[in-house]
Amino acid sequence: MFDFTSPLTYIGFFFLLAFILISLQHIYYCYKEWEPKRKLTKTLCVPALAIAAVFLAPLRWQIYVGAAVGAIGDYFLLKKHFVKFLALGMLFFFLGHLFYINEAVSILVEIGLLEVNNIRIWAIVYFATAYVIFFIISFVITKKKWLMSLAGGLYCVALLTETTDLSSY
């Protein structure tokens, strides 16, 4: 699977190791509630993973594009006490998850576990139903804040879609 004769593979593993180490530091800083260090590690985790994906899975471009978009979402969440930044962070996370979902569907189609015709009908019904449900829940939780409800509904649908077993459709 990996070409260990190529130095690019080792660069990819270096960034994967960097991602793991930064993530462990981030968890520690969150535990200790060291806010400045936590903010720094939060913004470094996903870019390290995205760079690792560029070198380790160059043909799976939607993975690292999704990670890059997610990193932008992390940046906006540093100022999450402002509703607009929180909504923008959620929107960028949603866009990143769309790339992940599309890549997962592409892989399932490539290996024959999913037919393209079935996914279109499923996706329309699923996204519409789930979005309405999550929008209503978010609207009630945020006490009728429309922008947060729109972003929250989209983000919840994206997360739910990533955990759904698409191979049965």
Query: Can you read off the two tokens belonging to residue 74?
Result: 């992390």
- Tokens describing residue 161: 């879609």
Q: Does some domain include residue 74? A: no
Lookup: tokens for 80 = 């999450």
What pLDDT was estimated at residue 131? 75
**Residue 72 counted as domain residue:** no
The per-residue pLDDT for 106 is 80
Determine the average pLDDT of the residues in 11-38. 93
- 128 and 50 belong to one structural domain: no
Which helix (H) or strand (E) covers residue 80, if one does? Answer: none
Q: Is 165 helix (H, G, I), strand (E, B) or coil?
A: coil
User: Is residue 93 one of the residues assigned to a domain?
Assistant: yes
pLDDT of residue 169: 45
**How many domains in the chain?**
2
Length of the chain: 169
Domain shared by 93 and 163, yes or no: yes
Q: Which domain holds residue 44?
A: 1-58
What's residue 161's pLDDT? 66
Whether 69 maps to a domain, the answer reads no
User: Do the domain assignments include residue 42?
Assistant: yes
Higher-confidence position of 28 and 149: 28
pLDDT at 80 over 90: no
Percent of the chain with pLDDT over 70: 87
- Within-domain flag for 15: yes
Query: Residue 38 falls within a domain, yes or no?
Result: yes
Q: Which of 50-54, 109-113, 126-130 has the lowest mean pLDDT?
A: 126-130
pLDDT at 109 over 50: yes
Same domain flag for 85 and 136: yes
Say yes or no to pLDDT of 95 above 60.
Answer: yes
